[in-house]
Amino acid sequence: MREYLVVGLGRFGTSIAQTLYESNEEVLAIDVDEELIQEAINGNIVDNAVIVDATDMKSLKELGVSNYDVAFVCTGDVEASIMITLNLKELGIEKIIAKANSKSHGKVLAKIGATKVIYPEEYMGRRVAQLAMEPNMIEHLRFSSEFLLLEVKAPSVFWGKTLIQLDIRKKYNVNIVGIKKENQPLTPNPSAESLIEKGDILLVITDTKTADYLENLK
């Protein structure tokens, strides 16, 4: 079984960590914020989360992160994400997937060792125009043989309901990290009260089995 490391428990990192955990994968989540770590544990997002400053190489070595197969760098702080990516690369992690805030940020991450760089808003913008011609689902990024970051046209069973009413994480094993409404920019990290409407495009993280199910959900 592969072991996953998630650095940064904002909404994006939390979604990744929970998707892995709910799919019975080995995942360790770390953050410098004690409150976020407690929320992750108390909220049953993961069962293994610790307070660690990932910009500190010594702390990462003591934690034994070099034993992990895949690392997700999800922090929104540019300087911190660069240092964390560099540390993980030097510690020998084979696959590092890092979130970037801009092209220049992404170029730096790629040069210092990120094997994949994620631009959530850019991925959404590039694909929206294709939805009229493509199937309901368009794959954006395959984290591994099991997990995908993808966009999907909101099925009719979601229309007129909020995320909290749908209880999507529990019922569908899906984490929604962005919503694109018609003629509006992407809304990243939507709140639980966000309303799903006809024509909405959802940016989600899920496993391959659920992705196949969503493709056929009407």
User: In a structure prediction context, what are the per-residue pLDDT tens digits for the chain, which is 218 residues long?
Assistant: 789 999 999 988 998 999 899 888 999 999 999 999 999 999 888 999 999 999 999 999 999 999 999 999 999 899 999 999 999 999 999 999 999 988 899 999 999 999 999 886 665 555 544 444 445 554 556 666 667 778 888 999 999 999 999 988 888 888 888 899 988 888 877 888 999 999 999 988 888 778 778 777 77
* CATH number, domain containing residue 33: 3.40.50.720
| Per-residue model confidence (pLDDT) at position 139 | 54
| Per-residue model confidence (pLDDT) at position 190 | 87
In a shared domain, residues 105 and 161: no
In a shared domain, residues 89 and 169: no
In a shared domain, residues 54 and 67: yes
Domain finish residue from 96, 118, 140:
118
In a shared domain, residues 25 and 64: yes
Contact 84, 13 (CB under 8 A): no
Contact 116, 144 (CB under 8 A): no
Domain finish residue from 80, 100, 118:
118
In a shared domain, residues 40 and 129: no
In a shared domain, residues 141 and 98: no
Provide DSSP, 42-62.
HTTS-S-EEE--TT-HHHHHH
Print the domain residue range for 80.
Answer: 3-118
In a shared domain, residues 105 and 13: yes
What does the longest C-alpha to C-alpha distance in the chain come to?
Answer: 51
Half-sphere exposure of 159 (CA within 13 A, CB side): 10
In a shared domain, residues 148 and 105: no
User: Which residue reads 């770590």 in tokens?
Assistant: 37
Contact 26, 47 (CB under 8 A): no
In a shared domain, residues 114 and 126: no
Domain finish residue from 71, 91, 118:
118
**What are the Cα distances from residue 100, in Å, to 14, 79, 82, 155?**
16, 11, 10, 29
Instruction: Count the domains in the chain.
Output: 2
* CATH number, domain containing residue 153: 3.30.70.1450
Helix residue ranges, H only, 98-167: 103-112, 120-128, 163-166
Provide DSSP, 129-141.
GGGGTS-SEEEEE
In a shared domain, residues 129 and 201: yes
